[in-house]
Structure 1
Amino acid sequence: MLSVGLTGGIGAGKSEAVRLLAGRGAVVVDSDRIAREVVEPGTPGLAAVVAEFGSGVLAPDGSLDRARLGGIVFADEERRRALNAIMHPLVARRSAELQAAAPPGAVVVHDVPLLAENGLAGRYDAVVVVDASERTRRARLLSTRGMTGQDADARMAAQASRAERLAIADFVLDNDGSLADLERQVSALWEKLIEMGTAGQARDQS
């Protein structure tokens, strides 16, 4: 089994790269989806969040009001660290469970938006960074997500820098171009990941 961490700045096209890898047979572990799962109503995760931040972060139906919680932690680094201290162990545990359930020889791609920010590169056999220029990313956020320029700049500034992400990359997918360009790169990457996984299996069996 090969464990791959995949990340990219907001607007870089990470989700598209993950979709293309899944289409080639990758087992995808989506950290954002897991982060929602571990704080669903009735979970210990939601109870821990409420204990830390108060019942004001709950919606009327008892679910987590993500917008309200985001408003708290986005503006306060200390409160963001408190939330991360709750969420990171829960997400890591569930991610490990999903990886363990993957079939032998699988290429498991962990879709982790904040991989660089949280210093997680060492957890994976390889790190893939989906890269695009700030100009391209900003344009995408304005056109496809309906953000204002101010919102786009704030979201980009809150993440690791482009240089910080590239510094941890074993493989880089350049997504400044067309979807066809990205598909060609993903096909080449997939061949390399299969080779790495096969070589790893051979070492384990020797």
Structure 2
Amino acid sequence: MKNPYARVYGLTGVMGSGKSTAAKLLAEAGVIVLDADSIARDVIDPQSDSYADIKLKLIAAFEPLSTEPLFRADGSLVRAALAKVAFADSAKTKKLGEIMHPHIQAEFSRRVAAIPAGRRIVYDVPLLFEGRLHEQVKKTIVVYAPEEICVARAVARAAGQGQKLTADEARARLGQQISIEKKRELADYVIDNSGDLAALRAQVTGLCQKLE
């Protein structure tokens, strides 16, 4: 089977590194950006063909560990409840990936096939290295910032959304992934987002000139 990732640059980072902002800037520069989180939301939508299978498996794997239902009465997923139990340790995070990834991959493949040849495509995926997708994509891009900056940004973002996330909780979530320092070492391209938005925009512009 043809590898759908062969046309794609993999974009990753960690919570608070600014990956989503970089992806937005890439899209503004004319790059087609496919978002793994967005695809994940689509496949768990009640109208999706994947919904019934995913819901059944999520309830079986995680609802016994949750203090609240994982799905609302209208069928929608309570994402905060799932995140609380699924990211509690690496084994649970791996189980979540095993449930979600086949459906995400199938939808990703469908979307890539619909994009004309010659277009630059970036796949924004949090667990690029953890899921070993870096072995399949054309090149890898990491959006980097030191961990403590990422932690501070994540806490501030959660507060801005009316959610409570402590620095220790943010560090615990980051601890379930390959560290940002290791990801920087593994990357083909690094976007340093330690500074402000103007600095990030300049680096994204420079990267776009390098992408085939």
Counterpart for residue 132 of structure 2: 119
Distance 2:153 2:88 in 1: 24
2:51 equivalent to 1:46: yes
Residue type of the alignment partner of 2:79: R
Alignment of 1:1-206 (within 5 A): 2-52=7-57, 53-54=59-60, 56-75=69-88, 77-146=90-159, 147-193=165-211, 196=212
Q: Which has the larger radius of gyration?
A: 1
In structure 2, what is the Cα distance between the partners aligned to 1:28 and 1:188? 17
Cα distance in 1 between the residues matched to 2:19 and 2:115:
22
Deviation at 1:161, TM superposition (A): 0.7
TM-score calculated relative to the size of structure 1: 0.85
AA of the residue aligned to 1:29 = L
CA-to-aligned-CA distance 1:73-94 (integer Å, 9 cap, x gap): 2235444333322211111111
Q: Following TM superposition, by how much is the alpha carbon of 1:51 offset from its aligned partner in structure 2, in angstroms?
A: 2.6
Gaps of 5+ in 1: 197-206
What SS class does the counterpart of residue 103 from structure 1 fall into? coil
**Secondary structure of 2:76 counterpart:** coil
Which stretch has the larger CA shift, 157-166 or 19-28? 157-166
Per-residue CA shift, 1:8-52, capped at 9, x if unaligned? 011000111111111111111010000011111143433223332
Matched residue type, 1:183: R
> Structure 2 regions of 5+ residues with no counterpart?
1-5, 64-68, 160-164
CA separation in 2, counterparts of 1:76 and 1:179?
33
- Could you tell me how far apart the structure 2 residues matched to 1:82 and 1:148 are? 25
Amino acid in the other structure paired with 1:179:
L
SS at match of 1:173: strand
Q: Give % identity.
A: 39
- Give 1:101 deviation, angstroms: 1.2
Worse-matched range after superposition: 13-22 or 150-159:
150-159
Number of equivalences: 194
The worse-fitting range, judged by mean Cα deviation, of 113-122 and 66-75 is: 66-75
User: RMSD of the TM alignment (CA)?
Assistant: 2.0
Letter of the structure 1 residue corresponding to residue 158 of structure 2: R
TM-score between both structures, scaled by the size of structure 2 = 0.83
Query: Counterpart of 1:57 in 2: which secondary structure?
Result: coil
By how many angstroms is 1:135 displaced?
1.9
1:45/1:78 CA distance change after superposition, 3 Å: farther
Tell me the SS of whatever aligns to 1:51.
helix
8 A Cα contact 2:87 2:173, kept in partner: no
